[in-house]
Structure 1
Amino acid sequence: MSNSLNLEKKSKKIPLALCFLLLSSSFLVFFSSSCRLYNIERKLDPVNADFISKVKYIITRKERKIFLELPNSEKEQFIEKFWERRDPDQDTEENEFKMEYFNRIERASELFVSEAKPGWLTDRGRIYILFGPPMDRMRYPMGGDPYSRCREIWYYGAFPVVFLDSTCTGIYSLVTYDLTGMRQFNLMYMHELTKAQARAQQTFGKEKRFFDFKWRVKKDVVEEDRVEGTITIEIPYGNIWYKAEGDMLETVLDVRLELKDSEGNLIWEYEEAFAIAIKEDELKEKQNKMYEMEIPLILEKDLERLRQGKNLLHALIINRTGGEDLKKVMEFRL
């Protein structure tokens, strides 16, 4: 009887030992493969190293492995195919996805400069690149409520993304709350965030774009002692950051214009704040439509100086809600 019991006990131990051995072997294989790929990546030439670094947020594990294991002679073709697979409209010359992705990297680097690394490599930069500017961005400075200070909350619709600066030194980390009473919510939150990032690896949403504007000048009257015209500035509704106020989305655009002659002397200036209030349903319909601002241009002084050389018209637009600003310059001749 005792022998049978011993045999039974031994038979139960064998599968456990075998499972442990298999798990250990699997870990060693995975670890070995990861180290091998890491060493290959370290030896990449500057062009390929820059590519694998910049696409880290959208490249899949399988794509990364294939790219690193390819001979150098085939890596250029892989990069071309990589972007082709993500091109939303292959009938156009431009790859809108690629342009948007690198524009977001550039913009993230400009926006998040307070941390000890390039802005696009920060947590805020990663979320900004993957999902674009949020519809609402709440900032809580150092002097505020001690339970909410030094943090930012970004809203994509009703979905919040929280960043915490634990030392109030300008270095923000993506927050994963670990409150017992909220555990299920937190798991769901991170699950949804992970799913959203996975979707971004396959396709890049075009709904969220960068703050940009188009502008033009129309001269209606050009006389010896007077010039009249209109400066038109257009910004896609979908590029503007808003703040939720009740059932409305609101923001203010500050517009500053300066006309300077060829020597840099100020000839004309203009400044105005444009308030925008729009409902969310209306915003969805107007994503690709333009919010238009028409500014009167009247010049009656120093016209002779403007006729002598290359003048420059400077524009600065600030989106108060998102804290974004953009400057542009165009040549102005009489």
Structure 2
Amino acid sequence: MMQEVKNKRLRNWLALFLIGFFVLGTIHSCHYYRLEKKLDPEDAEFLSKVRYIITKQEEHLFLDMPKEERKEFIEEFWKRRDPDPTTEENEFKLEYYNRIEQANELFVSEGRPGWLTDRGRIYILFGPPMERMTYPMGYGPAGPCQEIWYYGGFPVVFVDEYCNGTYRLVTYDLTPLRTINLRYMHELSMAQSQFQQTIRGDARIFDFKWQVKKKIKDDATVEGVILVDIPYTSFWFKQDEEGKLRTAVHLRVEIRNAQGEIVWEKEKSFPVVTTEEELKNFRGQKLEIEMPLSLTSQQTQLFKAKPGKIYAILKEETSGDLLRKVLEFKL
């Protein structure tokens, strides 16, 4: 009997955990969905066009940062993928956009731009197939219409179930394409493969997550705290004479009214000291820092009619990396 009660409690806790996890994930997704809807046409166009190669971390960085910083982000985005920085042209960028144009010309039968189709996506990411077999009358006596693209000895299969020109990718595991001898691949495939391997491995992107917790008190003042989480993988460290690893992060927070005027600001430095052994144990963990927030009743009046914005500017001392993020501030 006792065991049944324990099992029931365990199931209840598990159900609550899964519900909480789902709710948090939904809130997180809605946050970035709203930010994407607010993008101006130029930024929205960039984000749409690079959907096949941008990482989720890069996408969130782009959406979180202020409008005026996105131009520099875009430049760095392409610079990281440049296979030969010694040349004037970025071969990766040129080839990527060329393949989008080619996909639009090649795959015109699906009622949407060719680059947004399954065949267009594979063409853009991996280039023209070495061999392309088409079966417009069906594959076999009763099979659907098909296309099979070969990269080396690896087949990528597209099926047109109703033979109406709409092809769906049915080869879900494309991992073997990464292991085929890269001499068969075009420059884009090589550069993209190298970048993806790097970004999953030792690549370092300076990033942080943050939130603002605040409470309006009875006297109309506001008390709160700014919480910032920074992955330890974001840091560059210097080793001191004792063998310890040191750096620091400098946090500046600005609250601006609807006219862009600074209403409240504060700065603080946070030293980070660790050892190589400790750093290994920190893999996947984050440094958590806090900054208190306090607004007078006169300051809070400025946000009654229209919301303002709160900016977090974080700088890492050793590398000099600087990142700004912005949130709406309303009371």
Question: TM-score, normalised on structure 2?
Answer: 0.52
Q: Which amino acid aligns with 2:173?
A: M
Q: How many residues align?
A: 186
Alignment of 1:116-195 (within 5 A): 116-142=111-137, 145-148=140-143, 150-176=145-171, 190=173, 192=175
| Residue equivalent to 1:39 | 34
What secondary structure sits across from 2:83 in the alignment? coil
Aligned-CA RMSD value:
2.5
| Residue equivalent to 2:105 | 110
Q: Does 1:18 align with 2:13?
A: yes
Distance 1:194 1:91, change over 3 A: closer
1:99 Cα deviation (Å)?
Answer: 0.5
Q: Is the 8 A contact 1:153 1:161 kept in 2?
A: yes
Alignment of 1:230-249 (within 5 A): none
Q: Is the 8 A contact 1:105 1:129 kept in 2?
A: yes
What secondary structure sits across from 2:133 in the alignment? strand
1:150 Cα deviation (Å)?
Answer: 1.8
Distance 1:21 1:147, change over 3 A: same
Return the alpha-carbon distance in structure 2 between the equivalents of residues 145 and 100 of structure 1.
37
Show CA shifts across 1:273-324 (max 9, x none).
Answer: xxxxxxxxxxxxxxxxxxxxxxxxxxxxxxxxxxxxxxxxxxxxxxxxxxxx
Q: Which amino acid aligns with 2:167?
A: Y
Q: Is the 8 A contact 1:140 1:148 kept in 2?
A: no
Show CA shifts across 1:159-201 (max 9, x none).
Answer: 100111111111111125xxxxxxxxxxxx62626978xx9xx
1:143 Cα deviation (Å)?
Answer: 6.8
Return the alpha-carbon distance in structure 2 between the equivalents of residues 99 and 135 of structure 1.
21
What secondary structure sits across from 2:173 in the alignment? helix
Return the alpha-carbon distance in structure 2 between the equivalents of residues 120 and 83 of structure 1.
19
Aligned equivalent of 1:101, options 96, 102, 105: 96
1:15 Cα deviation (Å)?
Answer: 2.6
Q: Is the 8 A contact 1:123 1:174 kept in 2?
A: yes
1:11 Cα deviation (Å)?
Answer: 2.6
Q: Is the 8 A contact 1:67 1:78 kept in 2?
A: yes
**Structure of greater Rg:** 1
| Residue equivalent to 2:210 | none
Alignment of 1:79-94 (within 5 A): 79-94=74-89
1:17 Cα deviation (Å)?
Answer: 1.7
Identity percentage of aligned residues? 54
Gaps of 5+ in 1: 177-188, 209-334
Gaps of 5+ in 2: 193-331
1:51 Cα deviation (Å)?
Answer: 0.5
Show CA shifts across 1:102-140 (max 9, x none).
Answer: 011010001001111000000000000000001000011
Return the alpha-carbon distance in structure 2 between the equivalents of residues 170 and 15 of structure 1.
51
1:12 Cα deviation (Å)?
Answer: 2.8
Show CA shifts across 1:68-127 (max 9, x none).
Answer: 111111111111111111011111111111011101101000100111100000000000
Distance 1:165 1:143, change over 3 A: closer
1:14 Cα deviation (Å)?
Answer: 2.3
Aligned equivalent of 1:68, options 63, 70, 79: 63
Q: Which amino acid aligns with 1:190?
A: D
The 4+ residue runs of structure 1 with deviation greater than 4 A are 193-196
